[in-house]
Amino acid sequence: MSKSKGNIIPLKDLIKKIGSDLVRINIISSAENLDDADWRDENIPSYLSRINFITKLVKKLKKASREETKKIDILLISNVQKYIKEATQAYEELRFRTATQILLFKFTNELKEYMERCGGMKKCNRKVLREALENLIKLLTPLLPHLTEEWWSLLENHGFICVAKWPEFEENKFDQEIEVLEENFKKMLEDISQVLKLVGKKDKAYFYFSTEKELEFFSELRKYVKKKFGFKKIFAYLSSDEKRYDPQDKASKAKFGKPGIYLE
């Protein structure tokens, strides 16, 4: 920007136009460490979209009604701890752009995927989702101080969030086993996509897992996989199950992290 070229945007005009928090996060997350900040208009829509998502989630949280704890809940709890650790370290090292990417994008993507896998807000575990949301809001306070106070109030919490206890990494809530199962599951989704590209749309899918834990993890997400790929029916077996339907002997190729897949 240059005064002589007349392309200076007065800060007070920006605040009137889009609000102080959007101005703040756009400036503070434009650089890392002590690098000079920059103003980027193109970032505003993506920030606003994530902010609106959090606002809607806060307002709709009461609709979540499931009390049973599933593996997808354990995964969310574990990932929240990962984001707490990563974001806190980024703040301590003055890497505000990194903190913004972790919280406003990776964390919110995690919440979106959690709700999608659960089958909608009503089927989410309210206690688990609330804990995740409260941690996200606390972690966003340095970036969006006014909005986080509003969200904190909408969640019917007492006092100001600016004086609330900063989230700390709790190792007992980080589940390495569930993280590995999730990583394997995502690889499996990629494999399904690649197979479908080669063979075209299929109505039935058969999966063969080498371990009980992988089968249990997948079983909770059967409906999600069915909807994602448009399958009419899905079947899942242990590779050692003698009663399995396996015309091409895909089970013999199954190993941990790489289930056998047969489509027809």
Report residue 72: phi and psi, to 5°: -65, -30
Compute the distance between CA of residue 255 and CA of residue 102 in angstroms, rounded to an integer: 33
Q: Is the pTM of this model over 0.75?
A: yes
Q: What's the pLDDT tens digit per position in 150-196?
A: 999 999 999 999 999 999 999 999 999 999 999 999 999 999 999 99
Q: Which strand ranges, in their side-by-side order, compose the sheet holding 204-209?
A: 233-238, 204-209, 260-263
Q: Which pLDDT does position 136 carry in this prediction?
A: 98
- Write the pLDDT tens digit of every residue in 47-92: 999 999 999 999 999 999 999 999 999 999 999 999 999 999 999 9
The Cα–Cα gap between 83 and 80 comes to 5
Least confident of 38-52, 123-137, 212-226: 38-52
